[in-house]
Structure 1
């Protein structure tokens, strides 16, 4: 795993500064290539072929094609054999060189040959063309800046900001969507002039023009098979996905939450003959947020070399580190805990497998159940739901535990009040009409389009299925996962030079899951039903029957106690809070949260992260 950077002119010193900014992603080797038209930089984390042979940027035999690459191509041995048979000569054991020769052989269509996670840039000297590509699911990030004269790209925004011409200007529309979704939807970033290359897309820069092209999409097709056939094939495909992700010349382990997905990975690693399996788990003193007991069950069954981390209330210093590594605010409540568990794992391994992606493809989140339940609840007249039930539920005080009946009911009713076009994301969206009316300062409000679900409509325009559940899976996979879940995984792990591999996001497994009928994935209100069947006899029933919990931490309680002073200091001292927001409204939210009158942790945590980001990246610039 690595860090990449570059731009469309020659400046070796600038390429060096950009690349040095990414040193945490690749501490093992450093390289820069420049010519009259391009500069490419690279920081390497050595995983395969640890010697000098893997140094990047890397070229073909005659130096006319150069690549800087971040990721892993798991089918590179097979591709290498094919390319060697076509006459290509290899000088290393790396997958990087496969990308170079595949581009020579297939051109931009080379991306369709790769099975893996990747973000890379290729300079084709003969064509005077710069070619960038990002993997199908968005596991690896790739950002760019373009002002019609200069083009800049990198694995992280902080490297792009090394270029003096890049303005550090806040994107008001990104702020609006961030407050609601807790991340900035692609292709936007929190910087007005910096963009994300969307997953499953490539970009070509030639003759002073850029074009962005989609090369992969998720399609749904139902095949006529028995549930047993689906379960058996699912297990076989996932086992092969795990096996492919075991290739490494350095130690590897697995994150074990005790949930269904991570426990499955441990079981399949054991099936593939890995021993001892190094497992890493985290937990909290508040047992309603902790899963350690479940992780211990799995660790004992598969005799793993198990390590645990108890997360105390996070410090302001840790919050600031996490925001810096993320490049832009993204307030997934598991970000900081994941940062800590990656730090702990890196003391023992260089590669970790993790369970991200299973909840999207196999319907694991509570929001899928909420959407289904709301279809029945919506049969009640609107005047009863909005005029009687909602006001009554709002009077219930927030409870300190993670879920619980009261908290679940409150969240279900609140989500159901949002526009239906939001689909299941209504239960993952934390903006409200009240927030929109009271939160933003009038001058900032005027620079936004107040259309909360516009990004969802834009994505659904490409979904070929009319099924409600298929369309929800599509949104989770194409919209939420890349810019929230996977961004967190990449940035938090690479801040410690730890490579994370995600077997559930092998595109062949994702495509197979899209062929499974929806009622086998969400059976009644049982999430991942067919997957639970597939793991029967392999995982303990206690694990196989579990619901979703995740790594999220008790921030709502910490903001009322341990972090209350920090929250107040950060928000009251932030010029952005006073410029872009109605600060009296923010103070009201803090008071209500502290008094348990409401749970405003999502919006308050989002504002804290936004204020810290602004101080680090805009005010300090």
Structure 2
């Protein structure tokens, strides 16, 4: 696990050297163990290393046999040993035991087709000294971040945006179009980031850059194709796949632990891995303290658990630093506990396994259509799902127009066309609410419908609605929120986070599972839970998803935290973005208990905190002192 950065321009080698060093310094937290560079009159490549595999010999950049190609790489390739033997048999000579070199020789042998052979998480760049072409790629799901920008004659790329900010050709501007969709999605929802001109390499894509021309193309996409199988067969396949993936992801030359919440996913991973160290976080109050349940499970499994209780003071003191590490504003409250969880784990291990990905692959979210505790309503919904598509959609439209009744939300989301209601797992502001609060300069941006329809339009018309929703989350929610915060919060503390439930082999299995075993009248993530149940007590396998419960409701009604947020909301710069009277009124009413706008307030507070860091203070934030 590392950090990479680079740029291409016409400066001489000696001019490039101080710039690439400054860029590398900005991401030293991603790789504190060592660093390396390759610089010529065309390109500068920088690398920061966190040693995981081949501790002595894996320093980058790495060259091929004749020195005509050089690579920098961030991630892990879990099948590298098999590929290594295959490439050696074809005559390639290796100088290290590191997985990085497999990508380089694989590219020599197979060209871009090497990407279909890689199992892992990755962002990398290969420079061909002879053709002067740059080739790079991002992993299937976007587990590892990858950004690029073209400014003032320079093409720059790397793991974190903050490394671009010190390049003399970087022109820092706020992307005004990013704010409105952010207020709905809670994360940076566009392909262009909050920094104007800075884009993401999309998940499952590769790129080439030659003679000033950038080309980006997909090499993989999810393709749901149900297979005929019994429930028992589905459970058996999931159990076997989880066991294999956890074992594969646990290979390391350093100590491996696991994150553990009260939910089924991390609990399942932990029960299979059985590591020496597990780590949990809580907020003191029973309502928000998952560490108690984690301790109960590790006691049952005979494992060690280390936990930490985070106070409100700590959360607010570190919040600016959290947003700094994220590069872009993300108001997902779980960023806070994840930051402290990674800090806790970093004291004992260098690699942690976590449970991200299972909800997207195996339909674990209630928003996929599981909105009632009434078994009777759920059974009725399952029956109605068997009607022809036009009949289902017609009933859904009638339910939407009718007065609310018990179970109406469940029936509607079970029968409606996904495109009509589903935008992903986060919905903070309605689009109309965001428009009402924003100043005119920040109202012009792609609509929420435009953003999600760009994904839906890729799908066949006959795809089951649940799988449409999974597909959208795989391309929006997962890479732009869930995986981004997992990477940035763990790398802030120089630890590698691995996600065995989000693996290309796991995905191939998930694509084949019949929809009826994903979400039905019994539960979300039904077959997956049944597989987990073979390893966990019933109360863990069947537990509703909580994420990381964070007490922002309590914080925003506590005087000192309310005043802290209010002070920011009254700052002079805020009027550029928002109608200050309206956001202050929202905040005050929430404090008095006259509304429940905590998520909306937190989303605005997050953006303003981020903006102050990167556009006003322009420095690494200091930890506060409540």
Which TM-score applies when normalising by structure 2?
Answer: 0.90
Counterpart residue number, 1:452? 448
The corresponding residue for 1:394 is none
5 Å-filtered alignment, 1:478-557, equals: 478-524=475-521, 526-557=523-554
How much has 1:55 moved relative to structure 2?
1.0
- Which segment drifts farther, 302-311 or 499-508? 302-311
Output one character per residue of 1:414-436: Cα deviation in whole Å (capped at 9) or x when no partner. 999x9973533376212225413
Alignment deviations for residues 149-189 of structure 1 (CA, whole Å, 9 cap, x no partner): 32001100000111122222111221111111011124221
Q: Which residue of 2 aligns with 1:78?
A: 82
Aligned residue for 1:462?
458
CA distance in 2, matches of 1:484, 1:414: 27
The correspondence of residues 328-407 of structure 1 with structure 2, limited to 5 A, is 328-370=328-370, 378=396, 384-385=402-403, 389=404
Q: For residue 569 of structure 1, what is the aligned residue in structure 2?
A: 567
Residue-by-residue CA offset, 1:109-144 (whole Å, 9 max, x unaligned): 211111000011110112210112100000000000
Mapping of residues 224-373 of structure 1, within 5 Å: 224-270=228-274, 277-313=276-312, 314-370=314-370
After superposition, what is the alpha-carbon deviation per residue over 1:43-102, rounded to whole angstroms, capped at 9, x for unaligned? Answer: 000001111x21111111221111111000000000000000010111111001111111
Say which is worse superposed, 594-603 or 97-106, in terms of deviation: 594-603
Counterpart of 1:34 (choices 35, 39, 49) is: 39
Distance 2:528 2:188 in 1: 31
RMSD, aligned α-carbons: 2.5
Alpha-carbon distance in 2 for matches of 1:498, 1:601: 31
How far apart are the structure 1 equivalents of 2:179 and 2:104?
39
1:215 aligned residue: 219
**Cα separation, 1, equivalents of 2:365 and 2:526:** 12
Partner SS, residue 65 of structure 2: coil
Q: Distance in 2 between matches of 1:496 and 1:433?
A: 36
SS in 2 for 1:299: helix
Question: Within the alignment, does 1:188 sit opposite 2:180 as a pair?
Answer: no
Q: Tell me the SS of whatever aligns to 1:234.
A: helix
Matches within 5 A, 1:65-104: 65-104=69-108
Distance in 1, matches of 2:7 and 2:420, equals 38
| Alignment match, 1:105 | 109
Alignment partner of 1:125 is 2:129: yes
Output the CA distance in 2 between the equivalents of 1:20 and 1:553: 33
- Contact 1:256–1:266 (CA<8 Å) still a contact in 2? yes
Question: Any conservation in 2 of the 1:182–1:330 contact (CA below 8 Å)?
Answer: yes
Comparing 25-34 with 365-374, which one deviates more in the overlay?
365-374
Distance 1:421 1:268 in 2: 37
Q: Does the 8 A contact of 1:179 with 1:606 survive in 2?
A: yes
Shift of 1:535: 2.6
Kept in 2: contact 1:79–1:98 (CA 8 A)? yes
Task: Check whether the contact 1:171–1:191 (CA below 8 A) recurs between aligned residues.
Answer: yes
User: How many residues were matched structurally?
Assistant: 591
Q: TM-score, normalised by structure 1?
A: 0.91
- Unpaired runs of at least 5, structure 1: 271-275, 391-404
Q: Flag the 1:152–1:211 CA change in 2: closer, same or farther, 3 A.
A: same
Give, in angstroms, the shift of residue 347 of structure 1. Answer: 0.2
